């Protein structure tokens, strides 16, 4: 891996330049589909970016922590939360190494976090460990078919994408029931209006069993 391509400094600079993806203000559509019928509780949004998901959850009555590596993007998210009159606790964390409190959250969500292949199992295991009994784990990421779009970018060649089966294999299936593990297609306008079309996302939604 290029030494600094996933570093805090690199992400801060991408957000300053505006080339880390546009911010629509809308939550991730998969999050809405999978979560809108759940009873609000404590939520952890890991890799929260500019806060679209965290703000939507807060607006629905969830008590939300949004965590991200980039201090620049967390400052933006905090300003947007204040402008909407919403309460979110923003935490500056290296989400590739951070261990959240265990068995604490009714929802732990990571949408398009994309830890690399070597890091992915441990990152997913730590997120899963944060889920309270009866709580939900939602992992959403680009499918392996997205790899071709990285050509010519700093991320070219990095093992960032996994199949649903690989993501499920990261979980303790003695502790979790997997409700969804699939590839979903969606229309995308791309970044900056370029590179649009139909893209595929991996969606894994699991629920921690309540001990008997």
Token digits for 85?
Answer: 């009159």
| Distance of alpha carbon 49 from alpha carbon 138, whole angstroms | 16
**Tokens 């893209």 sit at which residue?**
199
Domains and CATH numbers, the chain: 40-208 (3.40.50.150)
Q: pLDDT digit string (tens) for 110-128?
A: 999 999 889 999 999 999 9
The model carries a pTM of 0.90
pLDDT by residue (tens digit) across 184-195?
998 876 544 445
For residue 24, what are the contacts with CB-CB under 8 A and spacing of at least 6?
Answer: 52
- pLDDT band of residue 178 (cuts 50, 70, 90) is very high
Which is it for strands 176-188 and 197-208: parallel, antiparallel or unpaired?
antiparallel
């Amino acid at each position: 891996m290029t030494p600094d391509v996933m570093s805090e400094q690199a992400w801060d600079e991408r957000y300053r330049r505006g080339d880390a993806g546009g911010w629509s203000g809308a939550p991730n559509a998969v999050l809405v589909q999978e979560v809108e019928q759940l009873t609000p509780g404590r939520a952890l949004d890991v890799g929260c970016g500019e806060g679209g998901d965290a703000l939507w959850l807060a607006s629905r009555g969830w008590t939300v922590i949004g965590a991200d590596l980039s201090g620049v993007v967390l400052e933006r998210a905090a300003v947007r939360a204040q402008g909407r009159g919403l309460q979110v606790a923003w935490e500056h964390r290296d989400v590739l190494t951070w261990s959240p409190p265990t068995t604490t959250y009714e929802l732990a969500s990571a949408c398009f976090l994309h830890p690399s292949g070597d890091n992915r199992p441990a990152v997913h295991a730590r997120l899963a460990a944060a889920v309270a009994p009866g709580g939900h784990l939602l992992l959403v990421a680009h499918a392996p078919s997205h790899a071709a779009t990285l050509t010519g970018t700093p991320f070219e060649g990095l093992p960032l994408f996994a199949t649903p089966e690989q993501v499920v294999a990261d979980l303790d299936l003695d502790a979790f029931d997997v409700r969804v593990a699939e590839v979903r297609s969606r229309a995308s306008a791309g970044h900056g209006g370029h590179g649009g079309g139909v893209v595929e996302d991996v969606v894994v939604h699991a629920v921690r069993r309540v001990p008997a």
